[in-house]
Structure 1
């Protein structure tokens, strides 16, 4: 172990409910590390800990990275609840953290050391509502929300607020809990309310089951979701039930027509490393999180946590795979919202939206 190495921690869900997203983000981080293994003339060492999709494990993972591995900065994590738990530990220790796809506003709220490369849920929820109401002309919405999940509750609320503000009507708002397998009672009630669109701010596993059961019950409304539904295997797992499904995402997908040069290079390099699978936006966010952190260390001219924190806060116009990122005063990334639709079993990037907040 090199004494002069710059030690960066990574904590992601590599097992448990969110393992699919966490593994993709780790693939993106590792790919970026392969491309840029040094900064300030020093080797970058990565220390990876599995937070097991669990809040307590998340806090413990960050403690281990700081106390045992002596990292100067941390990347992670997928999952807002996990990021909040880990972020509390990093904040107290004064170690900067760059979130990947943790979109709940509370992740960075009131924090000096916590940042993220993703937009936040008020922006994403407004993006989904704007696309549904303005672009698709859908006026009546139903919402099915996981009340045990901070991400789901937050995104549902922001979608509802924006949809109503534009003049839309929310005809039903029903609940479930993480891990539920049967949604027929909620879906039957939703169908009876005759919405034009059902918004499901779910994680992928539950989202696929909801869509399958909605199809079995004969639902004919548009179904929309958030970025946690962005999964390369969505059609494979959901079958014909996911056809026509629309979800918000970060402004990157391999099907994009107008990619920036960084996104083009990322897509080509990913396909060389993973010839059998397309890259998705989680891998892109992992990649961008690493690159933004390296850029901050370079600009700081130092691996001191305080210097890195200051440089991260000053990030402006950083061109990454997921578009141009500026870190704002609340430490959140400002970037547009992408819209993806499943067409003939494949994801198609269909629009980039500036949301009506």
Structure 2
């Protein structure tokens, strides 16, 4: 009997200690591509988050609790992203960082919304990440620290027409990608509004890497620029094939271009191209972050994802503090009323009517193959393209 009592007491004590320890941590989810073609950004995101969490925990965590990052690989796949969202809800996370890709974020949003878990994406720029496409109403638990595609497409068109002096443009895009489809649309509309003409708009299907037929049609029309809103792999292949066909147009891309693979795969064919990005290594606002990342990991961060991931985490932590709560609805309400928050990229103010950031700039970077770099070219603020 005494032995049973001792065992029971130990069990109760273990249960009590386990519960107490569980209450001392707060879980923040991270849905990210850690394998596959987008993994270089995903791995950099995860490193940057772990680096920041280490600092935040050294300062006391949030509301007295240690922050624990729960990361799962969504493999840059919408179905897997939904599975990851469900796992994170089951794990009891108070908020989720990511996904980075718009299609994955749009697929994940309903799961997290039903569970009332705030989602702060990193680089998912499609408007329908924070806006329900069926109802056109704001998603109450979806937020982002990055600009959105209408702005990115407008910046690209404005830069092409006014700075590159392009009068004609062609578009090569992935018809199976929400990202590519919408950016193609926004660029076309903005370029026409500027006074330019899109003379060809050619599509390909996801995973296709031979674009000679599409590019051949463009060559006959001799466009001044070719807009390619794709990832670095497709852009590099398109650049090589375009130059092989004798196309001289300036190549113009989007924030998915910003990877060392672009130069490695595209070589001299991609040299002199330009692309829109959220930030770059020369941005004065992120120099402390870049230096810290280099010192800790011995390499440059793969921008812009790690910067946006840290912005997302800082938004979550600040909102928890202002809400004085870990409850999803209260945290989301605080997020929607964020004004002038100091984050890694600078400052962040959330528009409560859209859950998108106000005054988030875009940079133009040039592809410099000789120096294996993407030097800063110029910056656009929202007021510059209104």
Name the TM-score, length of structure 2 as normaliser.
0.88
Aligned to 2:40: 20
Of the candidates 117, 136, 139, which is equivalent to residue 145 of structure 2? 117
1:254 aligns with 2:288: no
1:171 aligns with 2:191: no
Structure 1 residue 96: deviation in Å? 0.4
Stretches of structure 2 that go unaligned for 5 or more consecutive residues are: 1-17, 132-137
Query: Which moved further from structure 2: 110-119 or 237-246?
Result: 237-246
Instruction: Check whether the contact 1:254–1:279 (CA below 8 A) recurs between aligned residues.
Output: no
Aligned to 2:5: none
Instruction: Check whether the contact 2:282–2:376 (CA below 8 A) recurs between aligned residues.
Output: yes
Aligned to 2:30: 10
> Which of structure 1's runs of 4+ aligned residues deviate more than 6 A?
none
Any idea what SS the aligned residue of 1:244 has? coil
Instruction: Give the number of equivalent residue pairs.
Output: 351
Stretches of structure 1 that go unaligned for 5 or more consecutive residues are: none
Instruction: Check whether the contact 1:29–1:289 (CA below 8 A) recurs between aligned residues.
Output: no
Aligned to 2:309: 286
Quick one: higher RCO (CA 8 Å, sep 6+), 1 or 2?
1
Aligned to 2:373: 346
Query: Which moved further from structure 2: 300-309 or 95-104?
Result: 300-309
Of the candidates 34, 56, 64, which is equivalent to residue 54 of structure 2? 34
Rg (Cα) greater in structure: 2
Aligned to 1:210: 238
For 1:1-357, list aligned pairs within 5 A: 2-4=21-23, 5-37=25-57, 38-67=61-90, 69-109=91-131, 110-250=138-278, 252-256=279-283, 259-260=284-285, 263-328=286-351, 329-334=353-358, 335-343=360-368, 344=370, 345-354=372-381, 355-357=384-386
- Partners of 2:102 and 2:111 lie apart in 1 by 15
Instruction: Check whether the contact 2:41–2:303 (CA below 8 A) recurs between aligned residues.
Output: no
Structure 1 residue 215: deviation in Å? 1.8
Structure 1 residue 29: deviation in Å? 1.8
Any idea what SS the aligned residue of 2:375 has? strand
1:30-87 Cα shifts (integer Å, max 9, x gaps): 22212212111110111111111111111110001002x1111111011100001111
- Partners of 1:204 and 1:323 lie apart in 2 by 26
Residues 278, 14 of structure 1: alpha-carbon distance in 2 compared, 3 angstrom cutoff = closer
1:161-181 Cα shifts (integer Å, max 9, x gaps): 111011110000000011001
Identify the structure with the greater helix proportion.
2
Query: Which moved further from structure 2: 213-222 or 76-85?
Result: 213-222
Pairwise CA RMSD? 1.5
Instruction: Check whether the contact 2:29–2:71 (CA below 8 A) recurs between aligned residues.
Output: yes
